[in-house]
Structure 1
Amino acid sequence: MTPPRLQLLTRQDCHLCVTAATTLAEIAAEAGLTPATVDVDADPDLQAEYGDRVPVVLLDGQEHSYFTVDVPRLRRDLGLTGGRRRTGPG
């Protein structure tokens, strides 16, 4: 069985995880996806690898970003367009 396209590795009582889950859900919805949430503390292997740097976003089973969702990169990697428009020079 293949893993879900988007996964969020998280743990209870993690304020960064709550913020990341909200952001990830919004971007996933744009792409027609539903992210899966995985509690790293429920799996000793995940806890050992990711426990000190959650939340972690996995895209197609590969680490994509951690601590925060890298929104521009994730949107690009999911083939989404229409990111924030730049205002002013540059």
Structure 2
Amino acid sequence: MSLLRRAKKNPAETTVTLIGKPGCHLCEDARAVILKVTADLGASFEEKDILQDPALYAEYAEQIPVTLVDGRQHDFWRVDEGRLRKALGA
């Protein structure tokens, strides 16, 4: 059995993506948490409008808001601050 540990990534090298749409109250709540955590840890933040991207709409229409960390799905509907911090290496 290997005892290799996964190297922690520097949060400043990480991008958090919020996939949502205008007028979505859960998206606003998620944005607030993500902005707080990314500002605290120095991670990058980007936002994508599901209504402007047919591929994103097809994949995530029933889950918004969706949070991605470096392109991999992390959460949907709600963002847990502690869980996001942990995913970013804090």
Which TM class, normalised by the smaller chain length?
A: 0.7 to 0.9
Q: Which runs of 4+ in 1 moved over 4 A?
A: none
Question: Which letter maps to 1:45?
Answer: A
5+ residue gaps in structure 1?
81-90
Matching residue of 1:47: 57
User: Whose helix proportion is higher, 1 or 2?
Assistant: 2
> 1:78, CA displacement in angstroms?
1.0
TM-score (norm 2): 0.80
Q: How does 1:27-46 map to 2 (within 5 A)?
A: 27-46=37-56
5+ residue gaps in structure 2?
1-13
Residues 58 and 64 in structure 1, CA contact (< 8 A), matched pair in contact too: yes
Matching residue of 2:20: 10
Question: Which letter maps to 2:51?
Answer: D
TM-score (norm 1): 0.80
Instruction: Please give the alpha-carbon distance, in whole angstroms, between the structure 2 residues aligned to 1:31 and 1:46.
Output: 27
The alignment-based identity, stated in percent, is: 36
**3-state SS in 2 of match to 1:18:** helix
